[in-house]
Structure 1
C-alpha cells in the first residue's frame, strides 16, 4: 500500500523574513561551526532519508512517474552515498591548509588557509531530480558550516512536501529550514540578504537570480541547462552510440539537463544510426514505452505543452516515435531528422525525450554547428576515433564531457560538476560541494622577533630598496624570446621528485634562510 504523503502548502509570505532572520541569527551564535556538529547533522539527515524512503519513492512517482529503480539510483542512494563520502572526509577537508611555494622571506609568518563558512545560504532546487538536486547542495552547505534555507521546486510538489517533512524531523530547525511555494515565495526569498545563493534550473531563471543577487554582490552558483551536442562520426561504434544516447534520453523521460539536445551525425552513417536506435528502442521497451513501468512522465502540463509545441514547430521529419498523451503527460521517445541548424529543436533546449538528428558532411561542419548553436553547453558527447575525439574536445567548449557515452561525467558523485559560460558558474559534488560553501581565508601571523628584519619596509626609504631586492625580488628563468634558461644550480635543485625532494629542498632552504637572517640582523644591529 502506498504511503500517505504530506500535503504541499505554500509558506506564508509574511513569515519568510522572520524565518530567514532566525536562521541567519543562528549562524552568528557559532552553532554550526564545530565539525562534530556538522557531521551529526549530516548523519541525522542520512537517517531521515532512510526512514522516509517509501514516501520519496511515492512522491517521485507522483511528480514524475519515476520508477522505483530510477528513484533509488538517482535520488535516494545518490544523496545517501554523498553524505557517507562527506562524512568520511570532512575533517580532512576542513583542516587549516599550509600553502605551497611560499617565499623563504615569508615562511616564518606562518601563512595558512582557513576554510570558513560563508554564512546563511539560500538553495533553490529544481523539479527533474527534486531530491538529489536540492539535498545535494544542502549536504555541501552543512559540511561547510553554514545555515541554510531550502526552496524546493513547486513543479514537484509531492517531493517538496516530503523534503520539508524530512528536514523538520531530522536536522536542527534553527539552522536549516524549508520554504515552499512558487514565484511569489521565491521573490520574497530573493529580497532577503544572503551570503550565497545556489540555484539549479533554467538559464532564463538563472538570469533573474543573478540580477537579484547583483545589488548586494551576493555570490551565486548557477547550475543551468544546455543545448548539449553529441557528435557521431563514421568511425564511431554506431551500435553503442545508439544504445547509449537513447539511454541518455529515456532516463527520467529526457528531463536531464546534461543529456544531449541533438546529435550531429556523419551523413554516411545516418541510416545505420536510425536503424540502431529503432533496435535499441525495441530492446528497452518490448511492449512500448507507454506500457513500460520503467519510463517516466513529463513533470507538468506546462512542460508537456512546451515540448509538444517544439515538436509541432519543427521542420524536421519524425523517423521514430511521436506518440503523445496529454492526460498522462506521456511523450514517447521521438527521433526527428532535421536539416537546418536553425531548427528550434537544435537552438532550444527540449528538456524532454526528443532526439533530433542532423546529418553533416564531415567533422569540421559538426564542430562549426555545435559552436554556433551554443558556444558553452553543459555537456558534450563525442563518438569517434581517438584523434577525432581529441579534436572535438579541443575545439568545442563545455562544462563537462563524456566520451563514447551519455552524461557519465555527471553521474560520478565525487567528480566536480558544473557549467561554463551561460550553462552555469561554479561547481559542486563530492569535495567540490564543501569548497562551494566555504571561503578560503588566507591568514598570517608575524612574530615580534622579525621586527628588525622588517624595518626595511618603514620610511624613510632611502637606501632600502637594494636590501629589499636582495630579500624578495625574483629573477626570471626565461629570456626575452620566452625560452627557459637552465643553470647548473637550477638543474641540481630540480633533480628527484615527490615528498623526498621537497623535504630535502625545504631543509636546505631553511638552513640558507637561517644564515641569511643572521647576516641581515647583524647588518641591522651594526647600522
Structure 2
C-alpha cells in the first residue's frame, strides 16, 4: 500500500502523462474515438457473464434487471453514440452577414475538455461506464474511479478497462476516500460525479480550487402523486416495479407517495395484489429481488423503519444475515417522520395523505428539488399544473424511471439533486465545450468594407457608416429569400465607400 505522499505523486504523474497524450491530439482523431467505442462495446459483449457475476455477488441483482437496466443499456448507449458521433462532432456553422467579407467564416467547434475524472457510485456498474462513453466520444482522456463499496464491480472494471481500452488514455483508480481525496488535489479539466449530496459538496469545493467545471448527478426524495382518475392496477405495477428494482437502491426510485385517503385505500389493495403477482408468497426466496448492498446500509434502513410513527401495512420483514428487507409500504406518515428525513434508498415506501394536487405541489415546492417527479393522472389540468408549477430533473407522467432509458432526452438534476445533463447527445455535450472560431481572409474588398471604417483616424464619415450599419445589424444576416434588396443596397454602399476611401474623396466632400 502506498504512503499518502507517494500516492499523490503517483496521481500527479498519471494526470501529467495523460495531459501530454491529450495535447498530442491522439484522442481527437475520429477513427481513434470510434475504435475505442467499439472496444468498449466488445468489453461489454465479451464479458457479459463476468459483469453480471460481479453484479450478483455485490447485490444479488437479478439477471433480468441486470440485462434491462445495466448491460443492454450500456450496449445501446455505445451504439447510439457511435452511430451519431460524426454528426455530433461536426462544427456548427454560423449564418453569414453582410458586414463580413465574402471569404470570412464563423463556426462553433465542439472540443474535448482534456483530462476528465469520473467518480461513480456503487449501485449500478453502468454509472461508471456510461459517462465514459461520452468522454471517449468527445475526445477526452479519462480516469475512472468506481466505488469501493461494490467490491466485485470495482474489481471487474479495474481488470477489463486496461485489457480493452488504450492504456495511455483511459485508466482506473481503485480504493476508498483516501484515493479520492488524493485524486481531487490534481487539476482536472472536468469532473463527473454520481453519488450523494454531502460528497458532491466536497467534490465541488475541490473543483473550485481550479475552477474546474463539474457534473453532479445526485438523488434525493423523488415524490409520486396519484389522483383518483388513474387505472389503479397499472399504477400499482409501474410504481412497485420502479420502487423495488434493485431493491429500491436507485437514485430515481419513487421515494414516497402523496394521495388522498380514498386513493390510498385502493392503492394499498392493488399493491398487495401486484406484489403477489410479481414475487409470490415468499418474497425472500424469490430470485427477482436484489439485496441491500451491505450491513451498514441495512442497519440505516432498519433504524429509519424502527423510528417511524407510521403504520406498516405491507412487508416489514428483516433478515440481517441475508441483508434482506422485504418490500414495505407504510401509511399514516407525517411530514416530520423519520422516513421523510432524507433519501431512503431502499425498499421502504411511505404514503402521505394530501387532499388535492395543489396541496401536493405546495409540499413538493417547499422541499429540495427532486431528481425525478412522478405524476399519475388522467386529468389534463393536473398535468398542466405539474408541468408549470413544479421543478425537477425529470417529470414522468403515468410511469416512473422510464425516462432514464430514452437517449433522446437528457438525464440530470437541479439544485440539491444535481447539476448538468447526460445520456445520448447530452453526454457528448457534457464532455465537450463550444469553442468559437472566426476565420478572416486577407481579401482587399472585405478589408475595405468591414475593416477600414474601424481604424483611426476616426472621422464623421466613418462614424455614420458604422452607426448606420450597426443600427440595422439585424437586417444584415444573409437570408437567400429576403436578402436581395439589402444586398443590392449594401453593394452600392460598399462600392461608394470603396471609391470614397480609395480616391480619398472624403477630403473633397468635407467628410
Pairwise mapping of residues 118-129 of structure 1 onto structure 2 (< 5 A)?
118-129=113-124
Give the distance between the partners of 1:271 and 1:37, measured in 2 at CA: 58
Q: Which of the residues 357, 376, 387 maps onto 1:383? A: 376
Give the distance between the partners of 2:17 and 2:332, measured in 1 at CA: 54
* Equivalent in the alignment of 2:278: 284
Give the distance between the partners of 2:249 and 2:485, measured in 1 at CA: 58
Give the distance between the partners of 1:422 and 1:144, measured in 2 at CA: 27
Q: What is the TM-score of this pair, normalised by structure 1?
A: 0.89
* Equivalent in the alignment of 1:395: 389
Pairwise mapping of residues 502-521 of structure 1 onto structure 2 (< 5 A)?
503-505=480-482, 513-521=490-498
Deviation (angstroms), 1:22 = 2.1
Give the distance between the partners of 1:119 and 1:372, measured in 2 at CA: 39
Q: Which of the residues 452, 457, 461 maps onto 1:455? A: 452
Q: Which of the residues 322, 326, 330 maps onto 1:332? A: 326
Q: Which of the residues 390, 396, 411 maps onto 2:405? A: 411
* Equivalent in the alignment of 1:155: 149
Q: Which of the residues 425, 430, 433 maps onto 2:427? A: 433
* Equivalent in the alignment of 1:231: 225
Is the 1:347–1:373 Cα contact (8 Å) retained in structure 2? Answer: no
Deviation (angstroms), 1:416 = 1.4
Pairwise mapping of residues 139-178 of structure 1 onto structure 2 (< 5 A)?
139-178=133-172
Summarize the Cα distance change of 1:339–1:52 in structure 2 as closer, same or farther, 3 Å threshold: closer
Pairwise mapping of residues 73-84 of structure 1 onto structure 2 (< 5 A)?
73-84=68-79
* Equivalent in the alignment of 1:296: 290
Q: Show structure 1 runs of 5+ residues with no match.
A: 1-8, 477-489, 494-500
Is the 2:116–2:189 Cα contact (8 Å) retained in structure 1? Answer: yes
* Equivalent in the alignment of 1:522: 499
Deviation (angstroms), 1:60 = 0.1
Is the 2:318–2:324 Cα contact (8 Å) retained in structure 1? Answer: yes
1:14-42 per-position Cα deviation (integer Å, ceiling 9, x unaligned): 53333222222211121111111010011
Q: Give the secondary structure class of the aligned counterpart of 1:113.
A: strand
Q: Give the secondary structure class of the aligned counterpart of 1:127.
A: coil
* Equivalent in the alignment of 1:366: 360
Deviation (angstroms), 1:516 = 4.2
Summarize the Cα distance change of 1:311–1:293 in structure 2 as closer, same or farther, 3 Å threshold: same
Give the distance between the partners of 1:44 and 1:98, measured in 2 at CA: 32
Q: What is the TM-score of this pair, normalised by structure 2?
A: 0.92
Q: Give the secondary structure class of the aligned counterpart of 1:427.
A: coil
* Equivalent in the alignment of 2:509: none
1:72-95 per-position Cα deviation (integer Å, ceiling 9, x unaligned): 111111111111111111111111
Summarize the Cα distance change of 1:315–1:515 in structure 2 as closer, same or farther, 3 Å threshold: farther
Q: CA RMSD in A?
A: 2.2
Deviation (angstroms), 1:509 = 5.7
1:501-524 per-position Cα deviation (integer Å, ceiling 9, x unaligned): 964246666555544433432343
Give the distance between the partners of 2:350 and 2:484, measured in 1 at CA: 62
Is the 2:311–2:333 Cα contact (8 Å) retained in structure 1? Answer: no
1:371-405 per-position Cα deviation (integer Å, ceiling 9, x unaligned): 1222x110011111121111112111001111011
Q: Determine whether 1:468 maps to 2:466.
A: yes
* Equivalent in the alignment of 1:33: 28
Is the 1:382–1:402 Cα contact (8 Å) retained in structure 2? Answer: yes
Summarize the Cα distance change of 1:327–1:512 in structure 2 as closer, same or farther, 3 Å threshold: farther
Deviation (angstroms), 1:307 = 1.6
State which drifts further: 448-457 or 109-118: 448-457
Is the 1:114–1:442 Cα contact (8 Å) retained in structure 2? Answer: yes
Give the distance between the partners of 2:495 and 2:372, measured in 1 at CA: 58
Q: Give the secondary structure class of the aligned counterpart of 1:32.
A: helix
Q: Which of the residues 246, 250, 259 maps onto 1:256? A: 250
Q: Which of the residues 340, 343, 349 maps onto 1:349? A: 343
Deviation (angstroms), 1:460 = 3.8
Give the distance between the partners of 2:352 and 2:320, measured in 1 at CA: 28
Q: Determine whether 1:112 maps to 2:107.
A: yes
Give the distance between the partners of 1:373 and 1:269, measured in 2 at CA: 23
* Equivalent in the alignment of 1:97: 92
* Equivalent in the alignment of 1:55: 50
Give the distance between the partners of 2:260 and 2:486, measured in 1 at CA: 59
Q: How many pairs align?
A: 494
Is the 2:58–2:151 Cα contact (8 Å) retained in structure 1? Answer: yes
Give the distance between the partners of 2:145 and 2:3, measured in 1 at CA: 11
